[in-house]
Structures are given as structure tokens and as C-alpha cells.
């Protein structure tokens, strides 16, 4: 027994030597700026990861059936209880959809644009989320779609003047964005996505819940938290859970839109919304493919490595993202009953893609790769290819099995390079299975 433990540990520690290496100058600069943060691989503590294929009661998971019936639900529950918190509701019975815009000749005839208001409580003056959809006109219906939440409002993702401007959150207040803020967010290459045969759908994350510590007084929390009574329990949903819940409500809409292939929806997200995409895909198996772009701590990066952003740092800077219970693990990552490779594994057997960026050391690129690698045994158990490499690839050398991974040049961001790889990955899996 003892030697087995030792081998597992040695394997984890040895990882630092292979494939991509961060620029030493950058490591030096960041370490000087934040001496309290680990940016140097040599300083990563030794750790042992929980085995995704061993149940809490010690049962070894040797069959896909046992994974499905016992271990998967157990892991999901652990993430709900200790990290992201529990969403009190699934699909609200009173929710309605209002298609308020349909233009079959959008973007110079290339696309059909739809805008749909999702009324969470069914009340026209209640909480709502606006969904913006572009579908390629030259592709047979129903169309596979990429879905992501955006940071600045739908009007910001494209200069199209027909996108409805809706108030957004700014410094704790709702403000109406100006006309000249249209198209300022360049992170969604709409025309490229359409040219490659995919639809694109997006909604503003603040429509679900604003992103500041007082969020629990607003948005979906104000609308549904009454169910908790006076005090929010320590496992009540945080903002990431709320945003993930909102993504599932978009899928509810897709299921009634005949132009969209609800069975082929790729959910993706960048950074905090990458954490959100992983959590949404883990819980809602209707998502066909899950993509995490630079999601870092609380997303794909292994918490136990403590490289870059840590549990304590994230919980103090963003106390509203996770449930209260997660704060118990500040500086005590080794006590977590889960780590982020298990979040990745919850997507299995569906395809999942994790992407990092060379200069984004805050998000721990190697920790993100290792979560993909240590999720691989679950994919293998389920008869899938999993991750085609055991070693971290070099820069700009994507690997694509059922698990995909790349680390590209540059810093934190969702770039055209990332999008092209995600569409390559979707092509591969849609060609195989659709």
C-alpha cells in the first residue's frame, strides 16, 4: 500500500519537467510582484489527488455502470456541497420565452438573427435574460450551436445596430450602455463561426446575477432565494452556480426552437465564465461538448497545486462566486474531498476541451493540463479515447481526443486561435457522431 501511494505522488511531482515551460523572465517578474503567490514550479507543494474512480466508502469503480450509478452522483454532490453550492430550482415551471426579433437577412444576408427574452418567472416585468442568436443561412437546419455568456452585454459582441441594448451592471448599479459601446467586445468572431457552419448564441451574465459581493440581493437570487428563508445555508448556490443555471435555461429554449439542434450544443466560457461552463456542463448532460478557456482556479486548474491564484485568494477577492462551505478550504486544499480533475471527469463520456495561455500564469496552465490528464482514466473506463497524450504539449500544439487541450502564445483572453481550435474540435466530434 505504502509504495502505491508513493508512486502516485512521484507521478504528480514529476510533471513539472515536461513539455511547455513558462518564460523564466515572466516567472521572475510575477514572483517579485507577488511574493505570496507561487509562480515557480519548484515551489509547488507535494500533494495527492483524490482518485475519481474510488468511492467515498472505498469501493473501486471498475465498470461504467458503477461510475454512472454511484461515483458520478457522489462527485456531483461533493462539488455542490463543498464548492459551487446548490441551485434550489431546475427549470422553473412559470418560465416563458418571447422571441422579440427575427431577421432572416441579418449580416448582409449571411445569417438569421433571433433575439429571445427568457422570462424566468413568466412575468413581463420580472427578471429576464436576453438571448442573441445568429444562425448561418447556408447550413441545413437544425444547426449545431456554440453557446457562451458574455461580460458586457449582447450589444457589445457585434456592431449590428439591431441588437437590443439592455441595461448592464456597472459598479453595483444598472446603467444603460451608450450606442458607441456596440461591438466593443471582440471576443466572439461571429462571421468566422457562421462561415464554419455553426450558430452562435450568447447572453449577458449580469442578466442572471450581477458580479459583485452584494449579488445575493439581486437577479436570480432575489427572485428565487426566498425558498431558503431568512439565512442562506452554507451550501446555497454562489454566482458561478447561478450563471451555470442560466446556461441550462438557454438549453430549455433551444429544445423548443426547431432551427437549433439542441443535441449539439457546445457550451464554452472564458475565465470566470470558463469555470461556469465547466460547472454547467458537469451538471447538465444535455450539453454535447464543454469548453473551458483560461478558467484557472475554481475552473480547470488543480486547487492542490496552489500555483497562481489559490482557494484563499479567490474566496477573498470574489466571496460571492462559490458557496460559504468552500471558504473552509482556504489554505487547506488538501482537505477538499474533490479536485478539479473530477470536475472535468463529470463531463465524461462527452468531449471536453481545456485551453490555457502561455502568459496566463495566474490561471496555472500546467494545473489546467493536469486536470485534463487526471480526468482521463474516467474517459478510458467509459470506453473513450480520452486525452491522447500523457505529457503537457508544447506551445501551440493542440491535442484532440475526447479530451482536448492546448496552450497558446499570449496572455489571458479568448482569441481567434482559441475559437478555430474549438471549431476543429467540434468538427471532429460532430463528424464522428452527429
Smallest gap, in angstroms, from Cβ of residue 367 to ligand GCU? 12
- Assess contact for 181 and 204: CB atoms under 8 A: no
Q: Which residues contact 136 (CB under 8 A, 6 or more apart)?
A: 110, 111, 143, 194, 195, 197, 198, 199
Angle among Cα 208, 206, 291 to the nearest 5 degrees reads 80
* Closest distance to ligand GCU from the beta carbon of 144 (Å): 26
Select 148 or 314, whichever has its Cβ closest to ligand GCU.
Answer: 314
* Helical ranges in 126-271 per DSSP H: 190-195, 219-224, 239-254
Give strand pairing partners of 129.
118
Q: Is 326 in contact with 311 (CB distance < 8 Å)?
A: yes
Min dist CB 434 to ligand GCU, Å, is 31
Of the two residues 49 and 297, which places its CB atom closer to ligand GCU in the complex?
297
β-bridge pairing 199-204 and 128-136: antiparallel
According to DSSP, the residues that pair with 113 across neighbouring strands are 103, 134
Of 187, 241, 248, 271, catalytic: 271
Query: What is the closest distance, in whole angstroms, from the C-beta atom of residue 205 to ligand GCU in the complex?
Result: 10
* Annotated catalytic residue 412: yes
Instruction: Please choose, out of 22-30, 155-163, 194-202, 309-317, the segment that lies near ligand GCU by the rule CB under 6 A.
Output: 309-317
66 contacts 377 by C-beta, under 8 angstroms: no
Cell numbers standing for residue 111: 445569417
**Residues 277 to 296 in contact with ligand GCU, rule: CB under 6 A:** 296
In the bound state with ligand GCU, the residue whose beta carbon lies nearer, of 144 and 299, is 299
Q: How far is the CB of 312 from ligand GCU (least distance, A)?
A: 12
The length of the chain is 434
Q: Minimal CA–CA distance to 250: which of 307, 179, 201, 200?
A: 201
Q: What's the closest the beta carbon of residue 352 comes to ligand GCU, in angstroms?
A: 18
Judged by beta carbon, residue 118 or residue 361, the one nearer ligand GCU is 361
Give the per-residue contact string, 317-356, with ligand GCU (x = CB under 6 A; - = no).
x---------------------------------------
Nearest 10 degrees: Cα torsion 288, 207, 342, 9: 130
Residues 225-254 that bind ligand GCU (CB under 6 A): none
Binding-site size, ligand GCU (CB under 6 A): 8
Nearer to ligand GCU, 130 or 309 (CB): 309
Please state, in angstroms and rounded to a whole number, the distance separating the CA atoms of residues 266 and 277: 10
Q: Is the dihedral of CA 22, 28, 33, 39 positive or negative?
A: positive
Among candidate residues 31, 181, 218, 412, the one labeled active-site is: 412
**Local structure of 300: helix, strand or coil:** coil
Side-chain-side CA neighbours of residue 256 (13 Å): 10
List of residues 6+ apart from 21 with CB closer than 8 A: none
Q: For this structure, is 31 an active site residue?
A: no
305 touches ligand GCU by CB under 6 A = no
Instruction: Using CB under 6 A, pick the residue from 297, 302, 336, 344 that binds ligand GCU.
Output: 297
- Our CB check for ligand GCU shows the closer of 56 and 317 to be 317
Query: Which cell goes with 136?
Result: 448561418
Is 309 near ligand GCU (CB under 6 A)? yes
By beta-carbon proximity to ligand GCU, the closer residue of 130 and 364 is: 364
Task: Say whether residue 272 binds ligand GCU (CB under 6 A).
Answer: yes
The minimum distance between CB 271 and ligand GCU, in angstroms, equals 3
Residues that bind ligand GCU (CB under 6 A): 271-272, 296-297, 309, 314, 317, 362
| Catalytic positions | 271, 412
Amino acid at each position: 500500500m505504502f509504495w502505491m501511494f508513493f508512486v502516485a505522488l512521484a507521478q504528480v511531482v514529476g510533471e513539472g519537467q515536461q513539455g511547455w515551460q513558462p518564460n523564466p523572465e515572466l516567472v521572475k517578474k510575477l514572483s517579485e510582484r507577488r511574493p505570496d503567490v507561487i509562480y515557480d514550479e519548484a515551489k509547488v507543494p507535494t500533494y495527492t489527488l483524490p482518485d475519481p474512480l474510488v468511492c467515498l466508502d472505498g469501493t473501486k469503480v471498475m465498470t461504467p455502470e458503477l461510475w454512472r450509478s454511484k461515483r458520478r452522483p457522489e462527485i456531483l454532490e461533493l462539488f455542490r456541497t463543498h464548492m459551487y453550492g446548490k441551485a434550489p430550482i431546475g427549470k422553473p415551471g412559470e418560465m416563458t420565452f418571447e422571441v422579440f426579433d427575427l431577421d432572416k437577412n441579418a449580416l448582409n444576408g449571411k445569417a438569421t438573427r433571433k433575439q429571445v427574452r427568457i422570462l424566468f418567472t413568466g412575468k413581463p416585468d420580472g427578471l429576464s435574460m436576453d438571448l442573441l442568436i445568429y444562425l448561418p443561412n447556408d447550413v441545413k437546419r437544425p444547426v449545431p450551436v456554440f453557446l457562451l455568456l458574455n461580460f458586457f452585454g449582447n450589444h457589445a459582441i457585434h456592431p449590428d445596430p439591431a441588437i437590443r441594448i439592455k441595461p448592464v451592471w456597472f459598479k453595483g448599479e444598472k446603467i444603460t450602455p451608450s450606442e458607441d459601446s456596440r461591438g466593443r467586445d471582440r471576443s466572439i468572431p461571429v462571421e468566422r463561426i457562421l462561415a464554419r457552419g455553426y450558430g452562435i448564441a450568447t447572453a449577458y451574465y449580469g442578466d442572471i446575477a450581477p458580479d459583485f459581493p452584494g449579488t445575493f440581493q439581486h437577479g436570480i437570487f432575489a427572485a428565487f432565494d426566498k425558498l431558503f428563508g431568512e439565512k442562506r445555508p452554507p451550501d446555497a448556490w454562489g454566482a458561478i452556480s447561478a450563471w451555470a443555471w442560466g446556461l441550462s435555461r438557454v438549453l430549455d429554449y433551444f429544445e423548443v426552437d426547431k432551427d437549433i439542434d439542441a443535441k449539439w450544443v457546445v457550451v464554452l466560457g472564458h475565465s470566470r465564465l470558463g469555470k461556469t461552463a465547466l460547472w454547467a456542463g458537469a451538471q447538465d448532460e444535455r450539453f454535447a461538448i464543454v469548453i473551458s478557456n483560461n478558467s484557472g482556479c475554481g475552473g480547470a486548474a488543480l486547487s492542490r497545486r496552489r500555483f497562481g491564484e489559490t482557494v484563499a485568494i479567490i474566496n477573498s477577492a470574489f466571496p460571492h462566486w462559490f458557496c460559504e462551505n468552500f471558504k473552509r478550504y482556504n489554505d487547506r486544499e488538501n482537505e477538499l474531498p474533490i479536485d478539479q480533475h473530477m470536475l472535468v471527469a463529470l463531463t465524461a463520456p462527452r468531449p471536453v476541451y481545456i485551453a490555457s495561455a502561455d502568459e496566463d500564469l495566474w490561471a496555472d496552465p500546467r494545473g489546467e493540463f493536469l486536470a485534463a490528464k487526471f480526468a482521463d482514466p474516467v474517459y478510458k473506463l467509459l470506453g473513450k479515447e480520452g486525452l491522447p497524450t500523457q505529457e503537457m504539449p508544447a506551445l501551440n500544439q493542440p491535442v484532440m481526443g475526447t479530451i482536448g487541450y492546448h496552450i497558446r502564445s499570449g496572455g489571458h483572453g479568448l482569441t481567434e486561435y482559441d475559437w478555430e481550435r474549438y471549431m476543429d474540435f467540434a468538427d471532429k466530434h460532430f463528424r464522428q457522431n452527429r
